[in-house]
Structure 1
């Protein structure tokens, strides 16, 4: 098979081909090969994103890679059509991603000293084999945890009781955008992806068919006032739980996600993560979901323990692979995951 590469922002037709490729891979492998953010970025011509399409004359688009240089370490995701595997397409895309990862960032991100990190969603055997052949090792784990909610709505998962001084309400698009983004930035200041969410990222998710403002729960302290005596939502907001229920799911088998739980660092240690998780589960159950899932970094021990106490168990794991770094390496980098 002769593989030709095209580098550049996909047009509408090519973007649709990549989405179809991702669907085919998910049907074959049982796991989505590309993350939500990667799919949202398909038509983004940001200078710090590289889009690589692999074409075969007879089959059209048979592979895709996206390189993101906006963080402290460049990251990549790669997908190859099930029928085009074992022909070197993955190796070509990986080499291209490694080359483009060395380009300087234009987004103001710190100068990168770490090797490219490549996601393997589900950590499937073909991805592990590709990583091993390229001399890459696992440097980060993202756990997918799951919890059965039963076959009935909210009676199985009652909403939590709120302590005095706290109120829980639904997000109001437009009115709460800035306050939520400020909370998210504080809560995930050290997170490589979530912590850099922008207003554009938030609006892109609000435009998705799954977005429901009633599923983005805001936790506030009562009585918070701004300097002029008016209510200050940014000052009052201490936590949030964003839930996600994908559309087009069969009745009786709906799965919902605890999408993002964020706590203001100043309110850590008050048990708000447990409270918000319970509130999110109650919302998913009331919406008819039979199962809840979430993603959490494997080394985030406090969060993992919170979810395990709530009854979650491990479903799967996504892994980031990178070139191993030694103390004598010219890069001088060390890997914390």
Structure 2
């Protein structure tokens, strides 16, 4: 059985499936973006697929149209119904929807079953996203001032995000900072609005670096948006995240990335968190070096598998 209709989809059942898979595999099977689209709908060209084992929900897939016109998807099979062909069924239906278009499928955690499913169908590894982690209660950061004052360029100051006032400026800089990134650079006002409504959203942990007065023509140079995952989400205890760290291309070379990283980590530490994670493309060597210099180490990987043509 499959469905594309948000109205026909039992979101609660899918969320329960996602929780079961997370518990079994130690990694969330869907990205935050896909979970938001599952719950709120998404742009035209996307949809949902489910497969059932009798009356039970056995598997779920979310697919959307990528920036290149191809199909981008994620799929998961309930741990209780694996090795029964449900993953293959979901994949076949995704490929039917895609037709001759290229297809990319994210495999979170790079679990062995992903290669077993995708490689025989013509998919190959195309992108690697690193999850890096570090402790906030070990080493130098355990002694960091919760209100640090890093060296900033002349005329630059850091303030928390102001909902209802700073959205347009942040979206502009985000698009410029991530112009070549297939997902982050295409965020819309609606994408930002949905996250502002999430329970984890905290404007105090959304730090903006301005040159001049933001209400008097000031220029936004960069930002560090942090996030806190509740206990049980990515670990048994709450974990912080370097959610989005972006610098306007015109402000590169000013050491803002380093300063904003330290300010964001200090904010998370001040909230009593002991660990922080982030995601970064494996081939973004400059960013990987920056994070390693701040004590981050590789923890897990997500892999995008791609089939160029049918």
User: Does the 8 A contact of 1:9 with 1:44 survive in 2?
Assistant: no
* Equivalent residue, structure 2, for 1:54: 51
- The residue that corresponds to 1:292 in the other structure is 276
Aligned-residue offset at 1:13:
6.2
Contact in 2 for aligned 1:219/1:237 (Cα 8 Å): yes
Trace 1:153-232 onto structure 2 (pairs within 5 A): 156-158=143-145, 159-163=148-152, 164-222=154-212, 231-232=216-217
Choose the corresponding residue for 2:133, options 127, 139, 146. Answer: 146
* Rounded Cα–Cα distance in structure 1 between residues aligned with 2:98 and 2:149: 46
Structure 2 counterpart of 1:121: 108
2:245 matched to 1:243?
Answer: no
What is the CA RMSD across the aligned residues, in angstroms? Answer: 2.4
Residue by residue over 1:54-105, the C-alpha shift from the partner in whole angstroms, topping out at 9 and shown as x without a partner, is 12224x21111111104224210001000111111111111211222248xx
1:46 is displaced (CA, Å) by 3.4
| Aligned-residue offset at 1:203 | 0.7
Q: Deviations over 1:18-62 (max 9, x none)?
A: 11100000000000001110010014163210210112224x211
Segments of 5+ residues of structure 1 without an aligned counterpart are 104-111, 225-229, 332-337
Matched residue SS, 2:264 = helix
Tell me the distance in 1 between the aligned counterparts of 2:255 and 2:171: 22
Task: Find the aligned partners of 1:52 and 1:131 in 2 and give their Cα distance.
Answer: 17
| Matches of 1:124 and 1:160, distance apart in 2 | 42
Partner in structure 1 of residue 298 of structure 2: 314
Unaligned segments of structure 2, at least 5 residues: none
Preserved CA contact (<8 Å) 2:230 2:239: no
- CA shift, 1:166, in A, is 1.4
Pair 46,122 (structure 1): closer, same or farther in 2 beyond 3 Å: same
Partner of 1:66: 62
Q: What SS does structure 2 have at the residue aligned with 1:245?
A: strand
Matched, 1:75 2:75: no
Structure 2 counterpart SS, 1:253: coil
Determine if the alignment matches structure 1 residue 15 to structure 2 residue 2. Answer: no
Q: Output the CA distance in 2 between the equivalents of 1:79 and 1:249.
A: 19
CA distance in 1, matches of 2:290, 2:42: 39
8 Å contact 2:225–2:242 — kept in the other structure? yes
2:83 alignment partner in structure 1? 86
> Partner residue of 2:244?
260
3-state SS in 2 of match to 1:275: helix
**TM-score under structure 2 length normalisation:** 0.91
**TM-superposed deviation, 1:223:** 5.9
Does the 8 A contact of 1:51 with 1:64 survive in 2? yes
Residue 277 of structure 1 pairs with residue 277 of structure 2: no
Contact 1:33 1:78 in 2 (8 A): yes
| Corresponding residue to 1:98 among 88, 95, 98 | 95
